[in-house]
Structure 1
Amino acid sequence: MSDLKIPRDREDDYGAAAIKARQELVRDRTDSALEHVANYSLDPAVLPGNIENFTGVAQVPMGLAGPLLVNGEHAQGEFLVPLATTEGTLVASYSRGMKLCRAAGGITATVIDDRMQRAPVFSFDNARQARAFSSWLDDNFEPIAAAAETTTSSGKLLDIQKFSVSKLLYTRFNYSTGDAAGQNMTGKATFAACAWIKQNYPGELHFLLEGQFATDKKTSIVNMLHTRGKRVVAEITLPAALVQEHMNVSTDKLWAARLRGQLGSIMSVTNNNGNHSANGITAIFIATGQDVANVAESSAMYGFTELLPNGDLYASVTLPSLIIATYGGGTGLATQRECLEIMGCYGTGKVYKLAEIIAATVLAGELSLGSAVVAEEWVQAHDDLGRNRP
């Protein structure tokens, strides 16, 4: 049996001695000297709840894109957007799209919906029992909501969606979660709700707290249609002459390329008919302390463009499942908080502002890359800026 064991201290696992022991294990048993991993400015004492077996940091280069001009209901004005990435050309491409949009008067952003789910599945002996339970849920929504909300000061149960299959009832308990992403919050609240249901329902039932219908960290059509996290739209109308000047391409060619891309998206059965929403979203997530695995859902996108009679181009993106936070999780860690502060998005009351900035960033990136592909500048840009030569 291997004697390899990661050192831990049950009394103070985030203290200097425990951290040093893990670093020494790496140095003794591997080829890494941890010259950079072991150097950091954050205080390990703030890390409980964020990471286990803390050993050091992974530094990701961060650049500023922008300025991004947003005409939102919550984000208004020019913003510098921190993007943490190792992909050359990414920051430059987003900045180019932002420059075009700024010249056109800015991007309008609108939060359409906001809900986070936990999705219990209830089991019965037959379909009629499942149907009866579905009606009972409707009749008892208020006490169920009250039970759920005893576990949270900021979460609120909005409604319960129901989907019958065989002798099962799949549900989606939809919550508003304030400035937190809310996945843990909704789990705790829904467990309390299900406990109340189990105790008060007059018939026999069994449940699993999560029936895989919330599709945590997995892309899904149900979340694209019904919203998970924030549903936000960013849109702009671009004058034809401005597009030609900044992007070296005509709007009619952009429109024609869009139609061909639509068909390719349909053929490939993707959750995204755009170019690269995951790029900007991931870079912002890393910079601002979001749960990066949520990019699996958050990068889902509906892109829509329209060539107007005068040759101008209307362009929009809809992000139907953008899962973000400006409070809690990793957002309060030192560098992540600083990145949120760059955009004025740290703390309570700021999550819709961040949603609008992210959606506007995605739209700028879609326009930039889409134009580069049509103008045949894409490959050259990566060759010039995206190769890390020794």
Structure 2
Amino acid sequence: MSQRLRIPRLKGNDYSEQAARQRREFLRERSGVELQHSSHYSLDPASLEGNTENFFGVVQMPVGVAGPYRINGEHAQGDFYIPMATTEGTLIASYSRGMRLVSESGGCTVTVIGEAMQRAPLFELSSARHARALSQWLDEHFSAIKAEAESTTRVGKLIDIQRWVVANKLFTRFNYTTGDAAGQNMTGKATHHACQWILAHFSGIENFSLSGGIETDKKHSHMNLLHSRGKKVVAEAVINKDLLRSLMRAEPERMVRLRQRTVIGSLLAGSAYNGPHAANGIAALFIATGQDEANVVESHTGLAFMDLTDDGDLYYSVTLPSIICASYGGGTGLATQRECLQLMDCYGQGKAHKLAEIIAATVLAGDLSLAAAVVSDEWVSSHDQLGRNRP
């Protein structure tokens, strides 16, 4: 490049309509694109500081609503209308269909089993014995380490430190609760502060990294299937066999038979989730409510289970061990995202568990609808009717 053309920025006033207009003009001059639609928005550019750099406009993502959905959670209780942002035709119709089936069968029971958010430092020492000594020392000094970590945050609490010695290295996972925030940045700051104290008080650490990779931030891992990252949530429902036949044109026995076979297919493929499509509902809810969309890759991991009851009804459950969501902070306070959270009474402090329950319940409804469409051979026809691409 003979000349590097910098993106315009206004020092001290970069989150303003003036700055956004300058960037749009800069892009128009270099691309010929007018950005007619991207430049229309109702939000205040000043509200984007801390969320977006070099702001010039918006991408208008269509948002639809699914429901009503009867949820019998410990935090989410009642009938909910679920905002879902997507460009995939049939998706919201399918989720609404599943929500009707579950609701008329008595609703979805949801339970938050546990929660944790991690940062995973790596310590390198002279030998495996020295690494073991540090592991034991962390146990002995946990109270002091906990105090150092928690001095950086109002709501974050250090639960424990998991440890693995490999060669002359100690891999750790500092596990926290983070209130109503997702907590990646919170735990990073807290762990960094705690580790500076460790480095100052334990001699012989030859190398240190704030991340040893074992937290698998924004990546799928078997580690987070076993040791939750985010909130571990179980959604379950018993589907009345007569309703399944009348609303979905599917038999409970055929649903279970399909699941037995798709489990084998999931194993062959090495899938992170053995149900139909957890990522669809999670992504649509994440985009609508201002979650970090990269966390879909962790949050969709899980285990689906299907069985027949003694009465011949269909039992279905979804266990999602790593739902990373927030009702406060990050993108949740932006104008449209906040409105979508408010539709479900999930904005603000004390609402993160409620949101996690709604997310898991939504996954269950979408799974049932898609599985029934496959069993009844309506999958392709539904997409032809509602999801056909237009010229």
TM class by shorter-chain length? over 0.9
What is the aligned partner in structure 2 of residue 211 from structure 1? 212
C-alpha separation between the residues in 2 aligned to 1:287 and 1:21? 28
Q: Look up the equivalent residue of 1:234 and give its one-letter code.
A: A
What is the aligned partner in structure 1 of residue 308 from structure 2? 307
SS across alignment from 2:310: coil
Query: CA contact under 8 A between 1:114 and 1:176: conserved in structure 2?
Result: yes
What is the aligned partner in structure 1 of residue 293 from structure 2? 292
Superposition deviation, residue 298 in structure 1: 0.5
Q: Structure 1 regions of 5+ residues with no counterpart?
A: none
SS across alignment from 2:258: helix
SS across alignment from 1:32: coil
SS across alignment from 2:213: coil
What is the aligned partner in structure 2 of residue 164 from structure 1? 165
What is the aligned partner in structure 2 of residue 154 from structure 1? 155
**CA deviation vs aligned residue, 1:106-155 (integer Å, no higher than 9, x gap):** 00000001100000011011101001111011111000000000000000
C-alpha separation between the residues in 2 aligned to 1:23 and 1:336? 24
C-alpha separation between the residues in 2 aligned to 1:158 and 1:204? 24
SS across alignment from 2:61: coil
Q: How many residues align?
A: 390
SS across alignment from 1:304: strand
Mean alpha-carbon deviation: is it higher for 307-316 or for 251-260?
307-316
Superposition deviation, residue 16 in structure 1: 2.4
Superposition deviation, residue 102 in structure 1: 0.6
The question of 1:138 aligning with 2:139 is answered yes
Could you state the TM-score of these two structures normalised by the residue count of structure 1? 0.99
What is the aligned partner in structure 2 of residue 236 from structure 1? 237
What is the aligned partner in structure 1 of residue 67 from structure 2? 66
Mean alpha-carbon deviation: is it higher for 198-207 or for 156-165?
198-207
Q: How does 1:101-140 map to 2 (within 5 A)?
A: 101-140=102-141
Superposition deviation, residue 2 in structure 1: 3.7
What is the aligned partner in structure 1 of residue 223 from structure 2? 222
Superposition deviation, residue 17 in structure 1: 2.2
Query: CA contact under 8 A between 2:67 and 2:100: conserved in structure 1?
Result: yes
Query: CA contact under 8 A between 2:126 and 2:204: conserved in structure 1?
Result: no
C-alpha separation between the residues in 2 aligned to 1:85 and 1:27? 28
What is the aligned partner in structure 1 of residue 252 from structure 2? 251
Q: How does 1:334-373 map to 2 (within 5 A)?
A: 334-373=335-374
C-alpha separation between the residues in 2 aligned to 1:284 and 1:373? 24
Q: Look up the equivalent residue of 1:163 and give its one-letter code.
A: W
Superposition deviation, residue 270 in structure 1: 1.2
**CA deviation vs aligned residue, 1:341-361 (integer Å, no higher than 9, x gap):** 000000000000000001000
**CA deviation vs aligned residue, 1:19-73 (integer Å, no higher than 9, x gap):** 1110101221213211110010000111111010000001100000001110000
What is the aligned partner in structure 1 of residue 261 from structure 2? 260
The question of 1:22 aligning with 2:16 is answered no
What is the aligned partner in structure 1 of residue 189 from structure 2? 188
Alpha carbon RMSD of aligned pairs, Å?
A: 0.9
SS across alignment from 1:10: coil
Mean alpha-carbon deviation: is it higher for 70-79 or for 18-27?
18-27
Query: CA contact under 8 A between 1:98 and 1:364: conserved in structure 2?
Result: yes
C-alpha separation between the residues in 1 aligned to 2:87 and 2:240? 33
The percent identity for this pair of structures is: 58
**CA deviation vs aligned residue, 1:251-289 (integer Å, no higher than 9, x gap):** 000000000000001111111101111000000000000
Query: CA contact under 8 A between 1:198 and 1:205: conserved in structure 2?
Result: no
C-alpha separation between the residues in 2 aligned to 1:303 and 1:85? 23
Query: CA contact under 8 A between 1:130 and 1:167: conserved in structure 2?
Result: yes
**CA deviation vs aligned residue, 1:77-114 (integer Å, no higher than 9, x gap):** 00000000000000000000000001001000000011
Query: CA contact under 8 A between 2:229 and 2:321: conserved in structure 1?
Result: yes
The question of 1:379 aligning with 2:380 is answered yes
Q: Look up the equivalent residue of 1:307 and give its one-letter code.
A: L
Mean alpha-carbon deviation: is it higher for 140-149 or for 304-313?
304-313
What is the aligned partner in structure 1 of residue 13 from structure 2? 12
Query: CA contact under 8 A between 1:224 and 1:321: conserved in structure 2?
Result: yes
SS across alignment from 1:305: strand
Pair 1:5–1:202, CA change in 2 (3 A): closer
SS across alignment from 1:160: strand
What is the aligned partner in structure 1 of residue 35 from structure 2? 34
C-alpha separation between the residues in 2 aligned to 1:224 and 1:217? 13
Superposition deviation, residue 317 in structure 1: 0.2
- Shift >6 Å, 4+ stretches: none
SS across alignment from 2:236: strand
Q: Look up the equivalent residue of 2:62 and give its one-letter code.
A: P
Mean alpha-carbon deviation: is it higher for 17-26 or for 364-373?
17-26
Q: Structure 2 regions of 5+ residues with no counterpart?
A: none
Could you state the TM-score of these two structures normalised by the residue count of structure 2? 0.98
C-alpha separation between the residues in 2 aligned to 1:199 and 1:25? 49
C-alpha separation between the residues in 1 aligned to 2:220 and 2:187? 19
What is the aligned partner in structure 2 of residue 332 from structure 1? 333
Q: Look up the equivalent residue of 2:241 and give its one-letter code.
A: A
C-alpha separation between the residues in 2 aligned to 1:17 and 1:139? 56
Superposition deviation, residue 202 in structure 1: 3.9
Mean alpha-carbon deviation: is it higher for 197-206 or for 336-345?
197-206
Superposition deviation, residue 186 in structure 1: 0.2
Q: Look up the equivalent residue of 1:297 and give its one-letter code.
A: E
Pair 1:327–1:4, CA change in 2 (3 A): same
Q: How does 1:53-92 map to 2 (within 5 A)?
A: 53-92=54-93
C-alpha separation between the residues in 1 aligned to 2:190 and 2:143? 14
Query: CA contact under 8 A between 2:125 and 2:204: conserved in structure 1?
Result: no
Superposition deviation, residue 3 in structure 1: 4.6
